[in-house]
Structure 1
Amino acid sequence: MVHLQAVSTVLFLLNLLQAVHVNALRPSSYAVWAVDSAISRGQGNGLDTNGKPLVSYEHGELQWALRLLYERDGNKTYYDYIKTGVDNVVSSNGTVGGGYSATQFQLDPLRVGPTFLYLYNQTGQSKYKIAANEFHNQLINIHSRTAQGQFWHKLIYPNQGWLDGIYMGDVFYATYTQLFQPNNKTAWDDITLQFTLMFNNTIQNVATPNHTLLNLLYHGYDFSHTTIWADPDRGHSPEIWIRALGWYSMALVDTLSIIPTSHPGHKILLTFLQTLTPRIVSAADPTSGVWWLVMTQPGRSGNYFESSGASMFVYSLLKAVRLGYVSDKDGKIVAAAKKAYQYIVKNWVVDNGDGTMGWLNTVQVGSLNTDGSFDYYIGIPTDLNDLKGLAAFALASIEYEHL
């Protein structure tokens, strides 16, 4: 009996030591844990899963988080990872590879552009400026626009503006203008126009059957009204999709820190943010504190809480309050963000037991290349460790850790 008790005690102590060891491997910062886990899996390094160079907006999103953490903590590993990732897609003479083609009119690849500019600032190496110039040339001299002046989302989606594209293209556009053309009023006017056209053409302003009136932004619009989903009202798409609104929200808070306060666009973007923020808070599920994938149909069978958009909202809400872009005298915005963040950590962060974390419930994609219906959005699978969501969680964690 004594022998069995001794064995039991030893096993208990071994299990305890193993648990202590696993916990010791885990960083105290969720933001660090998220990016370290991505790095350990080789995510966001300028290469695809087959090791070929790839210009990817997901990599640009992660690089933004890595830069913020490097500036906060001084961990050079993050800077080196950023540089390696960009060097995988930018040649020594500054040519952008990785599948990039300016004539495809895609806004998505331009999300890596702010990283080019960051590295140019850090190193002074001309190749990063040349690469950024290539992206900028696409916007100014090549990219097609609607008659109102909105950049097409892609060549294959003529006359369509998507919320996603504002985050992909216009944060770069603003960063480039700030660095090289800070007094270029025409450029600042154009950047403001991109946000304004998107807001005015997608804002939900009337109740429709079976759709909750949230007064938020539909996924996109077709200025030509020729696609199957284009509503007679401004050509907007049928649903408010969480991640599209998340992209736009992040673009607002990020661009507001770039556009000069002396330019009228700063006040315009500020108004958009101040308009959307309380509505995003109100749209959260009252029990969980997070948001539905298809926000216009909360609680409908098949709908679910989605992790990338929820993280984007937390980042945007907390950054908006921290920088004084929105007033939170009663603390409701920060309280809502905290509640959402706590749900996120409890339900979508998985301790893998090896020092890394797993990430759940990020929908693979959301497009307007079909009918833009509720059934389309809920029919897209979710991915484990999807970088779009994991990077958004890192960004949300950085803001949460500011608290």
Structure 2
Amino acid sequence: MVFSSSSFTLLTLFIVISTVCARPQSYAIWAADSGIQRQQGNGLGGDGNPDVSYEHGEFQWGLRQLYERTGEEKYFEYIKNGVDNIVFGNGTVHGNYRLSDFSLDPVRTGPSFLYLLGKTGERKYQIAADIFKSQLDSHPRTAQGQFWHKLRYPNQGWLDGIYMGDIFYADYTKRFQPDNATAWDDIAKQFTLMYQNALQNATAPNNLHLLYHGYDFSHQKVWASPDRGHSPEVWDRALGWFSMALVDILETFPQDHPGYQSILSILQDIVPHIRDAADPSTGVWWLVMTQPGRERNYFESSGGAMFVYSMLKSLRLGFVKDTKDGSIARAAKKAYGYMTENWVVEKQDGTMDWLNTVIVGSLDQTGDFDYYVSQGLRVNDLKGLAAFLLASLEIERL
């Protein structure tokens, strides 16, 4: 067969386009490769400067699982390059990190430091981890012992902070101080105090038996309830952070320590209630979970992906037993199906877009319904894309 130069050019172009746009069979790989192609989670901010970001730590948590599953070196190298962008050769954590801020958020990159230390043996990663541990050693606390979320939020414990600080705290303790019973006591206390102070009680309006976004132990904030100082609403992503922290830490926490059972009991308590809080029609969750169907409320993607990850990982590792009819697994798969149909969009360059992730949710203002629904959405927000990567990894393990 003879091709003209023009037909050969068109054929070549067709092959190139077909190759670029081929959708991976794995949504986990597709999500990871799309984020990497956009240079997300690479230790740099939009301005090109080093960025010690919990979002990057969350993405790297997924990439390391994908690396262990596939053996693809590009995932390991992306983690390493991202961490090397925020850790100097002498181990100093630089960029926008300041220990004096006493913020738990940047500590979420700490598990990546420890992971690379284990893989490479490079001393700088231990020094960087030691810096974060020194922060936790002097971090301000409530009178009960809960870490403040940040120095500028005095006496406030947030669900977010459990994910940001305590996964690293447990990983560090296991690696360097495995027999430090005081440290394990303290880690367990962070979970139990949050649970006790933020769990909805039986008389709460719109009671879902889930956890409010956070609490102010001093009862000074405008949103603090009279009884325990908790915030007024259950926000999906805050609960998502907490549920992921519960299931992730149980892989690290010593099973012969009493705190293991305490954390396990919390996980076993809330997973069925997360299942029950899903919208019956779509299977996914409202942004403000305590106000289902209210005007301006909507289905939010990052919290939902975090729930799918937590539910399926809980089942896979035997932390939670499903019902006889498999209702927890079924709920997770239904939600995931909605996500892939509605929040995953294939692009012409072969990457995927991830939709419907709210940019921010905080307790620095009113913490009420109007606050949460007034926050903007961002396409490919890494908090949501990384959560979808994690959910996809669990779906693909089924």
Scaled by the length of structure 2, the TM-score of the pair is: 0.95
1:159 and 2:155 correspond: yes
Match of 1:7 in 2: none
Tell me, what secondary structure is at the counterpart of 1:358?
A: strand
What is the deviation of 1:213?
1.0
Aligned-CA RMSD value = 1.6
Match of 1:382 in 2: 377
Match of 1:255 in 2: 249
1:245 and 2:242 correspond: no
Indicate if the aligned counterparts of 1:161 and 1:222 stay in contact, CA closer than 8 A. Answer: yes
Which residue, out of 128, 134, 138, partners 2:135? 138
For 1:285 and 1:207, the matched residues in 2 are separated by 22
Match of 1:187 in 2: 183
Match of 2:4 in 1: none
Match of 1:402 in 2: 397
What is the deviation of 1:312?
0.0
Match of 2:96 in 1: 99
For 1:98 and 1:273, the matched residues in 2 are separated by 35
For 2:163 and 2:151, the matched residues in 1 are separated by 18
What is the deviation of 1:21?
1.3
What is the deviation of 1:207?
3.5
Indicate if the aligned counterparts of 1:25 and 1:354 stay in contact, CA closer than 8 A. Answer: no
For 1:294 and 1:63, the matched residues in 2 are separated by 28
Which residue, out of 269, 277, 281, partners 1:275? 269
For 1:333 and 1:166, the matched residues in 2 are separated by 24
For 1:349 and 1:359, the matched residues in 2 are separated by 5
For 1:23 and 1:290, the matched residues in 2 are separated by 31
Which residue, out of 343, 349, 355, partners 1:360? 355
What is the deviation of 1:20?
8.5
Match of 1:124 in 2: 121
What is the deviation of 1:25?
2.6
Which residue, out of 287, 292, 295, partners 1:298? 292
- One-letter amino acid matched to 1:144: P
Residues 185-230 of structure 1: CA deviation (Å, up to 9, x unaligned):
000000000000000000001334xx42101000000000001000
- Structure 1 unpaired stretches of 5+: 1-9
Which residue, out of 282, 299, 312, partners 1:288? 282
Tell me, what secondary structure is at the counterpart of 2:109?
A: helix
Cα distance 1:384–1:24, how it changes in 2: closer, same or farther (>3 A)? Answer: closer
What is the deviation of 1:102?
1.0
- One-letter amino acid matched to 1:82: I
Match of 1:218 in 2: 212
Match of 1:227 in 2: 221
Match of 1:373 in 2: 368
Match of 1:198 in 2: 194
For 1:19 and 1:80, the matched residues in 2 are separated by 26
Tell me, what secondary structure is at the counterpart of 1:270?
A: helix
The percentage of aligned residue pairs carrying the same residue is 63
1:72 and 2:66 correspond: no
What is the deviation of 1:262?
0.5
Residues 15-65 of structure 1: CA deviation (Å, up to 9, x unaligned):
xx6898168632110000001000000100000011100100000000000
For 2:42 and 2:17, the matched residues in 1 are separated by 31
Scaled by the length of structure 1, the TM-score of the pair is: 0.94
Match of 2:335 in 1: 340
Residues 87-108 of structure 1: CA deviation (Å, up to 9, x unaligned):
0000000000021111111000
Match of 1:325 in 2: 319
Tell me, what secondary structure is at the counterpart of 1:25?
A: coil
What is the deviation of 1:264?
0.7
- One-letter amino acid matched to 2:269: T
- One-letter amino acid matched to 2:228: R
What is the deviation of 1:125?
0.6
- Structure 2 unpaired stretches of 5+: 1-6
Total equivalences in the alignment: 388
Match of 2:145 in 1: 149
For 1:29 and 1:354, the matched residues in 2 are separated by 17
Indicate if the aligned counterparts of 1:308 and 1:389 stay in contact, CA closer than 8 A. Answer: yes
For 2:121 and 2:55, the matched residues in 1 are separated by 25
Cα distance 1:329–1:299, how it changes in 2: closer, same or farther (>3 A)? Answer: closer
For 2:313 and 2:146, the matched residues in 1 are separated by 27
- One-letter amino acid matched to 2:266: F
Cα distance 1:23–1:290, how it changes in 2: closer, same or farther (>3 A)? Answer: farther
Residues 340-387 of structure 1: CA deviation (Å, up to 9, x unaligned):
000010000000121100010000000000010100000001001000
- One-letter amino acid matched to 2:93: V
Tell me, what secondary structure is at the counterpart of 2:353?
A: strand
Indicate if the aligned counterparts of 2:287 and 2:297 stay in contact, CA closer than 8 A. Answer: yes
What is the deviation of 1:271?
0.2
